[in-house]
Amino acid sequence: ESTVYQAGLHYHRPPFTFKSQDWEKLAIARLSASAAGYVAGNAGSSGTYVKNLEAFKKWSMVPNRLLPSHKDEKGNPLFSDCSTRVLGEKLDFPLALAPVGVLRIFNPEGEIAVAKAAESVGVQYIMSTASSTSIEDVAAANGNGHRWYQLYWPSNEHNDITISVLNRARNAGFTALFVTLDTFALGWRPSDMDNGYNPFIHADRIGVAIGLSDPVFREHFKKKHGYDMDDATHNPAVDIEGGAVGEAAREWVSTIFSGHSHSWEDIKFLQKHWDGPIVLKGIQSVADARKAVEAGVQGIVVSNHGGRQQDGGVASLSILSKVVDAVGDKLDIFFDSGVRCGADALKAIALGAKCVLLGRPYVYGLALGGEAGVQHVLRSLCGDLIMNMHLSGYRDLSEVNRSILMRDDEL
């Protein structure tokens, strides 16, 4: 896919700069204080977040020289092939869009714009349970794209809702299930508290689209309250806190962020009700990675939620190679938290990740340019990755391993 790089250089009028390090400040300047605080905010003093970014700087890539590049039949150079296989699927790039909730607070097109951009660039989209668009509408926008579904797992008393959501995702063509383990309650996020902002309840309640469109959740609501959540007589208020839908929104939020953690034993329930691969997102220790293997899942995401859930944590990249050494031959290892450019992605892959998830960078693209903005971010990161590989002399990802990296303290 060298054309991504070529197109990156030549396509007309990219919506904003190619400098990935500037995307955050450009997007924040454009967003409301609440939306900016929500996307850029972190848990506590941002200690985990800062470590995530710094960890990449401890590693350097060491290129090999005079490795002749390959040619196509016309004699043109063949750029590095970034394709890979993960969870039994072929991906053009070892990248996927991390699940991010409430995307409509960044652009009115929200998840629809992201799902379309993902399909057009050929990058996998992981849809969040906290999305501001229904499962079915996202799938329609994603068309023939590849999509995975991220579950915020309702507590066990709501197993029928979980089953309903899983069925909807499967029927809409989502092939793998990513189960987020680190967010059974939202983290201590000072920026949202300072702004008095809960994007699921405020922002016109758009973060609860999946719950409000779920027939089983709707039925529960009706039984409990004795009226339908759309009943106008119970929704007279312009006040966004009020009315039946406001009540339903609060109930959905407490269903998916109940404060109750599931157990390793509970994974069996998901295995019974989901017939594709299951990936556990939020692993930060070798011990938990081993438990994931014992539980019989197909993958894990070494992730600390971009530093948004717990303060004072380890950098996600620092734990990656230890997890790979322990269980890398037993399941597919994904990585996220702190990837900001092609070199970051390549370092995570060299340390053993099969696929890297991008979080905030594409949200900034969405804020800056809607669908075209997300496309620009994806193309830029793919192009950057390809050229880094190509100039280091690697034809494909099978040649990328720890031998291309040095820790700076060894230099």
| Positions that interact with ligand FNR (CB under 6 A) | 38-39, 52, 98-101, 128, 130, 150, 180, 281, 303, 305-306, 308, 336-339, 358-360, 363
108 is in an annotated binding site: no
Q: Is 305 a catalytic residue?
A: yes
Q: Which two tokens mark 378? A: 């994806």
Which amino acid is located at 42 in the chain? N
Closest separation in Å from C-beta 228 to ligand FNR: 27
User: Which residues have CB under 8 Å from 235's CB, separation 6+?
Assistant: 242, 243, 244, 245, 246
Closest separation in Å from C-beta 338 to ligand FNR: 5
In this complex, which beta carbon is closest to ligand FNR, that of residue 128 or of residue 392? 128
180 is in an annotated binding site: yes
Other CB atoms within 10 A of residue 170 CB: 17
Phi/psi at 304 (5° precision): -120, 30
User: Which residues have CB under 8 Å from 167's CB, separation 6+?
Assistant: none
Closest separation in Å from C-beta 358 to ligand FNR: 6
Dist CA 239 CA 81 (whole Å): 53
Dist CA 348 CA 81 (whole Å): 17
| H-helix or E-strand spanning residue 219 | helix 215-225
Choose the catalytic residue: 146, 158, 220, 305: 305
Question: Cα angle vertex 335, ends 120, 372, to 5°?
Answer: 25
Q: Which residue is nearest to ligand FNR (CB)?
A: 359
290 is in an annotated binding site: no
11 is in an annotated binding site: no
Which amino acid is located at 252 in the chain? W
In this complex, which beta carbon is closest to ligand FNR, that of residue 338 or of residue 365? 338
Closest separation in Å from C-beta 63 to ligand FNR: 26
In this complex, which beta carbon is closest to ligand FNR, that of residue 179 or of residue 405? 179
In this complex, which beta carbon is closest to ligand FNR, that of residue 83 or of residue 191? 191
Q: Which two tokens mark 362? A: 């594409």
Closest separation in Å from C-beta 68 to ligand FNR: 35
205 is in an annotated binding site: no
Contact 83, 90 (CB under 8 A): yes
Dist CA 117 CA 366 (whole Å): 10
In this structure, what DSSP letter does residue 410 have? G
99 is in an annotated binding site: yes
In this complex, which beta carbon is closest to ligand FNR, that of residue 59 or of residue 394? 59
Q: Which residue reads 């890297």 in tokens? A: 356
Q: Which residues are catalytic?
A: 305
Binding site members:
38, 99-101, 128, 150, 152, 180, 189, 281, 303, 305, 308, 336-340, 359-360
Binding residues for glyoxylate: 38, 152, 189, 305, 308
- Which amino acids are annotated as binding site for FMN, given as ranges? 99-101, 128, 150, 180, 281, 303, 336-340, 359-360
